[in-house]
Amino acid sequence: MRNKILIVGGVAGGASAAARLRRLDENAEIIMFERDEYISFANCGLPYYIGETIKERDKLLVQTPQAMKARFNIDVRNNSDVKSIDVKSKKISVHSKSKGSYEESYDYLILSPGAKALKPPIPGINSNKIFTLRNIPDTDSIKAYVDRNETRTAVVIGGGYVGVEMAENLKEKGLKVTLVEAAPHILAPFDSDMVVMAEKELVENGVELILNDGVKAFNEVENQVAVSLNSETKLHADIIILAIGVAPDTAFLKDSGLDFGPRGHLIVNDKMQTNIQNIYAVGDAIEVVDYITKQKTAIPLAGPANKQGRIAADNICGINSTYKGTQGTAIIKVFDLTAASTGANERTLQRFNIPYKVIYIHPVSHASYYPGAMPMSLKLIFDDKGKILGAQGIGYDGVDKRIDVIATAIRYNGTIDDLTELELCYAPPYSSAKDPVNMAGFVAQNVLAGRSHMAAFKDIHDHEDKDTILLDVRTISEFNNGHIHGAVNMPVDSLRDRLNELDKSKTIVEYCQVGLRGYIADRILSQNGFKVVNVTGGYRTSSILDFNPKKPSDASEINKEENAGRITIDPDTQAVKKN
């Protein structure tokens, strides 16, 4: 029997399903419907074409209708908008640019409608100077507008992946760029103690960054758009990029009988099946299971969408394939910096009351004695049994492969012990004999074994001054070049000879530059009867967290004076301060 399979939507999920179906079944009739002209394109490359890192527009086009027909014998109908489905008669209603309105029957239906850019009802949001970026026509419109000589300033609303990438690329094009984010920090998958490095990179490359401030209204003033923020700040720009998120594009399915999640995502099982027989759904329009928390969520990423399309095709063709959840592995370029993450962050774990521990390390990308070694910061999150829950990495080289290794370990339910045992590539130009992934495992292993008494900066704010000694165990020159206010300097190499200078009745909160010497100091002090807290990540983490794109207000300076004599957390940067 020849199956007739309709696919609604192309790009990642739909196109992957179509190609897989043909490879598995040469006889099936496969028809793909795409609302726009382009059936499969590189979404993630769009900002880089606007910024002209990608020079040729055709490079963005992954597949064309002609190529899909020639290689896979797939009937691709672009400029064809699917308006509704009738699950009882197993038909869809289509409005085509060339054929008008008609119906098409199916044996199986794969829904891959994707997501659309959010446009909340903000006054003035429909200005023709305000753009969103989701597809090739959006890209063409933005690029044409940006390439005009009179386009010199831009405001990007939203600090997610698309917003940050657009801010960078517009800056590279020579525009003056302001990035506005309503949340306290950009790039939500990263915790605040890591993402500040990306924020610093943006500012250092000339992007004005405004955090914790949303848009109240847009208003066209002469040839520009005035942006009024909730703080009463006013910005003016020639072009506005709206990048505040996406919503599933599923409105045309509302009367179909399909089940939806609370935010309008299609509900599927692990075979990508909906609640209606012979109807599957994939991509940005579906609800998925978070691989770490096991909770329902939505994570719009190209990699998972491709895998889901393949799994739907497998099951239609009788292959028992299952989707085991999305862990949210993602990466972004921020000028010269790379930021990558996988698994859950602290906010997610706190929201679901999942206990966890955290360590930070600051290794270099390869052997320090080989030229070109670049610093990176890695954050590892795990539970008290050693299960890896998440990781974040930021640096200039080698970040991607470290997060990829940890992502692989997570996918196979790896533990901290597994990280220490991994045998990874080593030669001086590429890594160190103990790779940063191994080092993260060693540090976490010491925490779990009780050999290291670690705390993050945010966890030590309640230590009263009278009960605490803040100890800097770096060299005298390092201390003189910068230290946490109120710290006593006692280099680790002289620590054994100076133990009598420390009061055993007090808690020693000690730190070094990145954590290694702090661990040695911890071992010396704890084995000599001292109560010790080693601040994970060391002074480098503290100095990173001190970054704040906004100037401190008079009120914040007053608050610092009122809290003198305590170790506290700066409310904006989360940096530890001993006043």
Domain ranges within the chain, ordered by starting residue = 4-115+247-316, 130-244, 336-447, 454-578
Which residues are designated catalytic? 44
Q: 336-447, which class in CATH?
A: alpha beta
pLDDT at 553: 37
3-state secondary structure of 568: strand
Burial class (CB in 10 A: 0-12, 13-18, 19+), 103: exposed
pLDDT, mean of residues 343-367 = 96
pLDDT in tens, 119-149: 999 999 999 999 999 999 999 999 999 998 7
C-alpha span between 80 and 532 (Å, rounded) = 67
pLDDT classification of 567: cutoffs 50, 70, 90: very low
Weakest-pLDDT range from 288-292, 483-487, 550-554: 550-554
Chain centre distance of CA 309 = 22
Structure tokens that stand for 145 in this block:
């507008």
Indicate whether 372 pLDDT > 90: yes
Residue 577 has a pLDDT of 38
Q: Does domain 454-578 have CATH number 3.40.250.10?
A: yes
Cα dihedral: 179, 183, 189, 195 (round 10): 60
Give the tens place of pLDDT for each residue, 396-439: 999 999 999 999 999 999 999 999 999 999 999 999 999 999 99
Which pLDDT band holds residue 549 (cuts at 50, 70, 90)? Answer: confident
Phi, psi dihedrals of residue 273, rounded to the nearest 5°: -85, 140
User: Is pLDDT of 579 > 60?
Assistant: no
**pLDDT score at 455:** 84
Instruction: Render pLDDT for 435-461 as a digit per residue (tens, 0 to 9).
Output: 999 999 999 999 999 998 888 877 765
Q: With 0.75 as the threshold, say if the pTM is over it.
A: yes
pLDDT of residue 557 exceeding 60, the answer is no
CB neighbours of residue 428 within 10 Å: 14
pLDDT of residue 564: 32
Residue-level pLDDT at 550? 65
Distance CA 2, CA 17 (A): 17
When pLDDT is averaged across residues 559-567 and rounded to a whole number, the result is: 32
- DSSP assignment of 51-86: TTSS--GGGGEEE-HHHHHHHH--EEE-SEEEEEEE
Segment 32-82, tens digit of pLDDT: 999 988 888 888 899 999 999 999 999 998 888 898 999 999 999 999 999
Q: Distance (Å, rounded) from C-alpha 154 to C-alpha 202?
A: 15
pLDDT, residue 160, reads 96
Fold of 4-115+247-316: FAD/NAD(P)-binding domain (3.50.50)
161: enclosing H helix or E strand: helix 161-172
Q: Do domains 130-244 and 454-578 have the same CATH topology?
A: no
State the pairing for strand pair 357-361/296-297: unpaired
* Whole-number percent of the chain with pLDDT over 70: 94
| pLDDT at residue 460, as a whole number | 65
Kindly state the average pLDDT of the residues 366-385. 96
pLDDT-derived band at 177, boundaries 50, 70, 90: very high
Q: What strands, in cross-sheet order, belong to the sheet with 108-111? A: 75-77, 29-33, 4-8, 108-111, 279-281
What's residue 43's pLDDT?
A: 84
pLDDT of residue 560: 33
The answer to whether residue 161 scores a pLDDT higher than 90 is yes
Query: CA-to-CA distance for 414 and 25, rounded, in angstroms?
Result: 37
pLDDT tens digits, one per residue of 334-351: 999 999 999 999 999 999
Question: Quick one: pLDDT at residue 11?
Answer: 83
Mean pLDDT (whole number) for 527-555:
76
- Enter the CATH code of domain 130-244: 3.50.50.60
Higher local confidence (pLDDT), 421 or 575? 421
Q: What does the pLDDT average to over 170-192?
A: 96
Q: Is pLDDT above 60 for 116?
A: yes
User: Buried b / exposed e across 140-172, counting CB within 10 Å, b at 16+?
Assistant: eebbebbeeeebebbbbbbbbbbbbbbbbbbbb
With beta carbons less than 8 A apart as the criterion, state whether 255 and 84 touch.
Answer: yes
